[in-house]
Amino acid sequence: MFVLGSCFRRNDAGGFLSILLILCFFFVQTQPCLADQPNWDKIIHSLDTFVTDYVKEKKVPGCIVAIVGPHDIYFLKSYGVKKLGQTDRITTKTLFQLGSVSKTITATLLIKLYDQNAIDLEEPITTYLSDFKLKDQEEPLTIRHLLSHTSGVPRYGFNALIETHPPRSELLRMVQTVKPAAHPGESFDYHNVMFALTEDILHVTHNQRFDHILEKTVFSPLSMAHACVGLNCIQQSKDRASPHIRNKKGQIIPLDAYSRAYYAVSPAGGINASMEDMIPFLKAHLGGRPNVLSSGARSLLHLPQVTEDMSPEVMKAKSEHIDKMGYALGWRWMDYGGERVVYHGGWLKGFHTMVAFLPEHEVGIIVLHNAETNLPWKTTCAFLDQYLGLSKS
């Protein structure tokens, strides 16, 4: 299930062992000693206990959790069922609505195309979308601004508008009536509609549908066989998780229908995937698939673009170990216990998901959950606390 490295390939005595000990001491950065390796038994036991207790205590339907490195799966376990009241258990192939974790996949697609010189991140989007014009816009808006949520367009009211299921054309019309509150690149304001303009740009540059480009450029190369875009594909899947919400009594109950609102802005929130899809995706971001995602592309995706203006009180409420937070390209970032964490959560009606990783440590966690609880965030923090030695236990 998991592999631990060691400085020693042999157990010879005498001078040979002494030489190895010296080499291990001087080259610890490139070949860590066993003592420097994470205590995976302790980490996995602690995480498994945490999730098991949470599922039981909160009476949630279920989830599936994985901890991976560039080439290894250190932990993989499913908990609970696809739908409360039934016995069909979650599997590695079970489809979940990803919500805003979709942004990480869309950004990966865009940066791969940039890496192939197929698009230009700094080109004004009006080069591609000649009919798109923000109200009183003076400075050029670029793809980089869309992927980092620094368009300057305020988000207020747009998520509520998306939830009313207007046609995509209406969303694009409405966003052009809003006067920007800041210059492009100046500040962060999370905006699903502006992020989703990437779909229109891709259609112009490639004359193909967003899902077709995604399949060819990301899904197929990474063998993400179950990942798909749109409502139909999850409805038609024989292995899919059902959404769950809390009723007025606070009880978690299943929904009969999937949320269709964010499929109108698919690049921002309309991708579905299973754990078997997300594991190779995360491995690629950890450097395990350089033939698919180059080191340069990864560095660009994970590079902070803006710091989020968030009070220390709000950050501490999330975790006492958070110091700063911000956004990269399709990914969030935070400084957690003195370490950089790249991550993104997804939350829509009935689902909550999370992908997070430590770039310097080349390890990350994926949590897919079919209910609206804090399980993915709390599980991620529990893992980080254990891995980084921040846990009091």
Burial class (CB in 10 A: 0-12, 13-18, 19+), 169: exposed
Q: Is 392 helix (H, G, I), strand (E, B) or coil?
A: coil
Mean pLDDT of 320-337: 96
Q: What is the pLDDT, as a whole number, of residue 277? A: 98
pLDDT confidence of residue 36: 63
Three-state secondary-structure class, residue 99? helix
Strands 62-68 and 244-246, by their bridges, are: unpaired
Q: What is the mean pLDDT of residues 69-78?
A: 98
* Integer Cα distance of 366 and 380 in angstroms: 8
Per-residue model confidence as pLDDT tens digits over 152-189: 999 888 988 999 888 999 999 999 999 999 999 999 99
Q: What is the mean pLDDT of residues 232-239?
A: 96
d(CA 43, CA 155): 39
Computed over every residue of the chain, the mean pLDDT equals 90
Is residue 352 a contact partner of residue 369, using CB atoms and an 8 Å limit?
yes
3-state SS assignment for residue 34: helix
Residue 31 banded pLDDT, cuts 50, 70, 90: very low
The CATH architecture one would assign to domain 38-387 is 3-Layer(aba) Sandwich (3.40)
Is pLDDT at 17 greater than 60 in this prediction?
A: no
DSSP state of 274: -
pLDDT band at 393 (very low <50, low <70, confident <90, very high): low
Which residues, in sequence order, are CB contacts of 2 under 8 Å at separation 6+? 40, 44, 72, 73, 74, 75
User: CA nearest 116: which of 213, 197, 25, 41?
Assistant: 213
**What percentage of the chain reaches a pLDDT higher than 90?**
81
Judge whether residue 263 has pLDDT over 70.
Answer: yes
- Please say if the pLDDT value at position 24 is more than 70: no
The residue type found at 185 is: G
Q: Domain limits of the chain?
A: 1-37, 38-387
Confidence band for 204, pLDDT divided at 50, 70 and 90: very high
Mean pLDDT of 121-143: 91
Average pLDDT over every residue of 293-302: 98
pTM (2 d.p.): 0.90
- pLDDT classification of 309: cutoffs 50, 70, 90: confident
pLDDT value, residue 2: 36
* pLDDT tens profile 265-293: 999 999 999 999 999 999 999 999 999 99
- Distance of alpha carbon 105 from alpha carbon 218, whole angstroms: 8
- Answer yes or no: is pLDDT of 208 > 50: yes
- For residues 370 and 378, the answer to whether their CB atoms sit within 8 Å is no
Q: pLDDT value at position 34?
A: 38
pLDDT at 9: 32
